[in-house]
Amino acid sequence: MTTLTGAAAGGGDGGGDRIQLRGLRVVGAHGVLPEEKARAQPFEIDLDLAVDLALAAGSDRLADTVDYGEVATLAAGVVAGRSFDLLESLAGAVAEATLASDLRITAVTVDLRKLRPPLALDLGTVGVRITRRR
């Protein structure tokens, strides 16, 4: 009998194994308008990390998987750090930093939402979703 690892079962990038981080809220100063640069506002991030989880599933050791606490801290630092005009650029920076943080992450999807968009409309959030692969 053959046992597929997470990557062989589709964990590399199209399906399969994932580490999910949901609802990370961070304050940052991003946007095109001057008031968005001057006053920090809340953002929310969801991350899906494509990672082969077979080894960690069998060993129950943190060393055999990606530490999602470290990834969350890294993503929060990107949002709280340098100012970006566009959500697309900010999400791209989060994705790049996430992929660079651990070679076991083969792909990342970043959902990034601005929780208080500066529009004169009743709009709950505005956001982007990007996926980047190695």
Cα–Cα dist 96/119, whole Å = 29
What region, left, alpha or beta, does residue 16 occupy, with left being phi > 0 and alpha being psi -120 to 50 degrees?
left
- E strands, 1-134, are 18-28, 41-50, 107-114, 126-133
In the set 78, 85, 114, 129, the catalytic residue is 114
Active site residue 114: yes
**Strand 107-114 to 41-50 pairing:** antiparallel
Active site members: 114
